[in-house]
Structure 1
Amino acid sequence: MRVVTAQQMREIEKQAIEIFGIPSLLLMENAALAVVREIEHFAADKSSKGSLKTIVLVGKGNNGGDGLAVARHLLILGMDVTVFSFAKPEEYQGDAALNCQLYQNAGGRFFLIEGEKQLRLTRLALQQTDIIVDAIFGTGLRGALPSLVQEFVEEVNHTGAWVIAVDIPSGVEANTGKIYRSAIRAQTTVTFGLPKLGHFLAQGPEYAGRVIVDPISIPDKFLEQEEVSTFVLTDDEVKSFLPVRTLQGHKGTHGKGVLVAGSPGMTGAAILAGRSALRCGIGLLQIVTPQQAASQIDLGLTEATIWPVDGDHTLGNQSWPLIAEKCSSAQALAIGPGLGQNPDFISVLEEVLRTVELPVLLDADALNLVAREPGILGWRQGRGPLIMTPHPGEMARLCDCSTQEIQDNRLEIAVTKAVEWGAVLVLKGSVTVIASPDGRAFLNPTGNPGLGTGGTGDVLTGSILSWLAQGVDPLEAACLAVYLHGKAADELAREVGWSGFTATEVADQLAKARRSLELI
């Protein structure tokens, strides 16, 4: 599904109105009905809709007009509704003005918030309400909320009410997801046409909650514009990336992958990556590792073939002949988990980038070594697919900047560097960004804080290696692996919550996550 900026969505709506002829009032009405449907779903679990108290917060723009239309429909359904407005009735214009009039004509309660006095009077009402609809600001907000609205928002966030945001929570920038001081913290957000970047970037996901996308009757031809280059992954799209197996398949046809990983004290990283690759269905897995780590990895991963390298505790330039030999009969190569940072291995990375035509995945310590000699990435141009999977700290080292700079500009930096390096770049985080060398970017909606534990990055590396070895396109393999990685964590979280599950459990859950996708 495409993800757009506020400006892109406004242009799409403009075209739908001017070219297709959809009245703007109809779009506003459809938006309101989409919000009302979600409120009805919430109310269906309660004994009586009529007993639920609802407060609708509105501003003077079109977002406020949406909120006023929501209030009118809830009133007609028999719910106890009050509108708290930060604009006088005469300040509304166009469709919003009409919806303000219609709401008042229906006998709806309208309470104007003009200053601290009204804020004090509304505190009790906020504490006693069941549902709060946020329609103060829409996608046009930039910067901080006005001080009066900010105080009101903080009061809302301290209630026990169920909060639903219209289009995007007030205080969240639609293009960046950034929040200045405060914003509405919603449990559900209903957005219109297409999701906005701010639903997935920075603090946006934390404040938007569950995001529902409603097309509000805008035809697909307007929503599927080619100039939109950012997408959010969905079940249907990712399902199409899964390789199809036949009854005639065997280990030789299910792909052979080479994993260069491990060192004494870091054998778990190699085991986790290998376990994940096997759980994702790789036919044959070969692991190149130092002699001192080989026996422990062999015990921990009996299904893989272990190829030890004599010499130092960490792999150095003496490992290249064995890596080259194993790559000659493989379909994919991954380097990095638990590797260690022997400077001699930089020459091996250079040889890999310069000569190996297989898809090559660099992770963890391989990326840290590249950060010492970033110029070696130039050897890869035109020689074969490259996938890089940095977390924000590794990305900061690769870009020679601070981790905060990476976090503040995740999408822009990921796309810029993917194009510059000619690589599929997987920038890990709460919403992982998968950027393509052609400038497209994919945002992953699966996953949860439970993935913030040691070893889960190694699990992701093994999964990508497995899909690459099975012949999945590099960009699709990265998207598939990231999505299933998060989906596995989400399934575990439903059992034990956002903490307490391990990387091993995530690896073991991957097969079930894949199967659940196949059955959709």
Structure 2
Amino acid sequence: MQVVSAQQMREIEKEAIEAYGIPSLLLMENAALAVVREIQQTLVKMNSKGSCKVIVLVGKGNNGGDGLAVARHLLISGMDVTVLSFAKTEEFRGDAALNCRLYQKAGGRFFLIEGEKQLRSTRLALNQADVIVDAIYGTGLRGALPSLVEEYVEEVNQTQAWVIAVDIPSGIEADTGKVYRSAIRAQTTVTFGLPKLGHFLGKGPEYVGRLIVDPISIPDKFLEQEEVATFVLTEDAVQAFLPVRTLQGHKGTHGKGVLVAGSPGMTGAAILAGRSALRCGIGLLQIVTPQAAAFQIDMGLTEATIWPVEGQNTLDHRAWPIITEKCQTAQALAIGPGLGQNQDFIPVLEDVLRTLELPVILDADALNLIAQEPGILGWRQRRGPLLMTPHPGEMARLCGCSVQEIEDNRLEITLNKAVEWGAILVLKGAITVIASPDGRAFLNPTGNPGLGTGGTGDVLTGSILAWLAQGVPPLEAACLGVYLHGKAADELAQDVGWSGFTATEVADQLAKTRRSLELTEKG
């Protein structure tokens, strides 16, 4: 599914209105009905009984107009509705003004918020509400909320009510996900047409809650814009990437991968990456590692073939002949988990990038070594597929900037560097960004804070290696690996919450997660 900026969504709506003849008032009405449906369905799930108390917070823009239409429909359905408005009735324009009149003619309660006096008198109503609808600001907001609105936002965030945001929680910038001081923390956000960048970037995911996307009757031909190059991964899309096995398949046809990883004290990284690759169905896994780490890795991963390199505790130039030999019959190569940062290995990385044509994944210490000699990335141009899987710290070292700069500009920097380096970049984080050299980017919605534990990055590397070895194209392999990795963590979190599961459990869950996707597809 495409993800758009606020301006792109406005242009899509304008085109639909002008070219297709859809009245703007109908779009507003459909937006309101989408919110109303979600409220009604959720209340049924909550087994809510009796008259439901609803507070609708509105501003003077179109988002406020949506909120007033929501209030009217809820009022007509028999709910106890009160609108708290940060705009006078005469400040509403166009469709919003009409919805204000319709709501008031239906007998709806409308209170104007002008200062702290109203906050004191409405605090009780907010705390008694079962549902609070946030329709103060939409996608046009830039910068911090006004101080009066902030006071109400803080009050809403402290209530026990179920909070549902219209299009985007007030206080979040639609294009960046930035929150300057405060924003509505919604349990559910209903957005219209297409999801917005701010739902996934910056602080957005912390405030959006469960995201519902409703097309509000805009035809698909207007929503599918060629110039929109950012997408959110969906289960349907990812299912199409899964390789299909036949009865005639065997270990030779299920792909061979080479993993260059491990060193004394960090053998676990190699074991986790290998375990993940095996759980994702790789046919043959060969691990190149220092001799001092080989025994432990062999004991921890009996299904893989271990190729020890004599010499130091970390790999150096002596690893190159073994790597080239094993890659001759392999479909993919991954370098980095637990590798250590021996500068003598940098020439090997240069040789890999310059001479090997099979897909190469660089992770962990391989990236840290590259950061010392970033110019060698230029050797890879047009040689073969390159995938890089940095976390924000590694990305900051590669880019020569601060981690905060990376986090503040995740999408922009990842896209720019993917194009510059000619690599598929996987910037890990709360919403992992996968960027392609052709300018496309994919945002991953799966995963949770439970992945913030040692070893889960190694698991991701092994998963992507397995998909590449099984013939999945590089960009799709990265998307598939990232999505399944996060979904496996989500499934584990259903049992133990956002803490308590390990990287090993994530690796072991991958096979079950893949199977659940296969069964869903067949169903």
* SS of the residue 1:155 aligns to: helix
Q: Deviations over 1:357-390 (max 9, x none)?
A: 0000000000000000000000000100000000
Q: What displacement does 1:163 show? A: 0.2
Paired with 2:336 and 2:509, the residues of 1 have a C-alpha distance of 23
How much has 1:45 moved relative to structure 2?
Answer: 3.1
Correspondence list, 1:64-463, <5 A: 64-463=64-463
What's the secondary structure of 1:218's corresponding residue?
Answer: coil
- Distance in 2, Cα, partners of 1:153 & 1:135: 12
Q: Which deviations, in whole Å up to 9, do the C-alpha atoms of 1:296-324 show, x marking residues without a partner? A: 00000000000000000000011100000
Aligned mates of 2:136, 2:68 — CA distance in 1: 11
Alignment partners' CA distance in 2, 1:262 and 1:177: 38
Q: Which amino acid aligns with 2:361?
A: L
Distance 1:468 1:316 in 2: 26
The answer as to whether partners of 1:287 and 1:304 remain within 8 angstroms in 2 is yes
Q: CA RMSD in A?
A: 0.6
Letter in 2 for 1:204: G
Partner of residue 510, structure 2: 510
Which residue identity lines up with residue 52 of structure 2 in the other structure?
L
CA distance in 2, matches of 1:41, 1:405: 41
Equivalents in 2 of 1:98, 1:516: separation in Å?
A: 48
In terms of mean alpha carbon deviation, does 301-310 or 42-51 score higher? 42-51
Q: Distance in 2 between matches of 1:251 and 1:110?
A: 69
User: Which whole-Å CA distance do the structure 2 matches of 1:148 and 1:355 have between them?
Assistant: 62
Instruction: State whether residues 316 and 345 of structure 2, in contact with CA within 8 Å, keep that contact through their aligned partners in structure 1.
Output: yes
- Aligned partners of 2:50, 2:413: CA distance in 1, in Å? 50
Cα separation, 2, equivalents of 1:60 and 1:27: 17
Query: Any conservation in 2 of the 1:49–1:78 contact (CA below 8 Å)?
Result: no
2:35 corresponds to:
35
What is the deviation of 1:421?
Answer: 0.2
The C-alpha deviation readout for 1:62-118, integer Å capped at 9, x for no partner, is 000000000000011101110000011111111001100010010000011011111
Note the C-alpha offset of 1:49.
Answer: 5.2
The alpha-carbon deviation at position 517 of structure 1 amounts to 1.1
- Determine helix, strand or coil for the equivalent of 1:430: coil
Report the counterpart of residue 474 of structure 1 in structure 2.
474
- Asked if 2 retains the 8 angstrom alpha-carbon contact of 1:53 and 1:129, the reply is yes
Change (3 A) 1:80 1:50: farther
Q: 1:306 to 1:403 in 2, by over 3 A?
A: same
8 Å contact kept, 2:176–2:202: yes
Q: CA deviation at 1:343?
A: 0.4
Contact 1:50 1:80 in 2 (8 A): no
Q: Is the 8 A contact 1:488 1:509 kept in 2?
A: yes
Residues in 2 aligned to 1:227 and 1:314: alpha-carbon distance in whole angstroms: 46
**Rounded Cα–Cα distance in structure 2 between residues aligned with 1:179 and 1:497:** 26
Q: Percent identity?
A: 84
1:215 shift after superposition? 0.1
TM-score by length of 1: 0.99
1:407-428 residue CA offsets vs partner (Å, 9 max, x unmatched):
0000000000000000000000
Q: Which amino acid aligns with 1:145?
A: L
Alignment-mate amino acid for residue 309 of structure 1? V
- Residues 133-156 of structure 1: CA distance to partner in whole angstroms, max 9, x if unpaired? 000000000000011001110000
Alpha-carbon distance between aligned partners in 2 of 1:333 and 1:239, rounded to the nearest angstrom:
24
Q: Distance in 1 between matches of 2:10 and 2:69?
A: 20
CA distance in 2, matches of 1:50, 1:446: 36
Would the aligned equivalents of 1:50 and 1:78 in 2 still touch at CA under 8 Å? no
1:93–1:236 CA distance, 2 compared to 1 (3 A)? same
SS of the residue corresponding to residue 294 of structure 2 reads helix
Output one character per residue of 1:4-62: Cα deviation in whole Å (capped at 9) or x when no partner.
Answer: 00000000000000000000000000000000011001211345554221100000000
Q: Which amino acid in structure 2 is aligned with residue 178 of structure 1?
A: K
Q: Distance in 1 between matches of 2:90 and 2:375?
A: 62
**AA at the equivalent of 1:89:** T
Matches of 2:402 and 2:115, distance apart in 1 = 42
- Which amino acid in the other structure matches residue 17 of structure 1? I
Give the Cα–Cα distance (whole angstroms) in 2 for the partners of residues 509 and 444 of structure 1: 18
Unaligned runs of 5+ in 2: none
CA distance in 2, matches of 1:412, 1:99: 38
| Counterpart for residue 4 of structure 1 | 4
Which 10-residue stretch deviates more, 278-287 or 40-49? 40-49
| Match status 1:26 vs 2:26 | yes
Q: Distance in 1 between matches of 2:33 and 2:177?
A: 25
Contact kept, 8 Å, 1:176 with 1:202, in 2: the verdict is yes
- Please say if residues 51 and 78 of structure 2, whose CA atoms lie closer than 8 Å, have aligned partners that are also in contact: no
Is the partner of 1:2 in helix, strand or coil?
A: coil
1:361 touches 1:465 (CA, 8 Å); kept in 2? yes
Q: Which amino acid aligns with 2:315?
A: L
Cα distance between partner residues in 1 of 2:45 and 2:412: 42
Comparing 497-506 with 35-44, greater Cα deviation is found at 35-44
Letter of the 2:420 partner, please give it. Answer: E
Aligned residues between the structures: 520
Letter in 1 for 2:201: L
Deviates more, 1:486-495 or 1:123-132: 123-132
Is this contact kept in 2: 1:50–1:79, CA < 8 A? no
For 1:127, the aligned partner's letter is N
User: C-alpha distance in 2, partners of 1:49/1:363?
Assistant: 53
How far off is 1:519 after superposition? 1.7
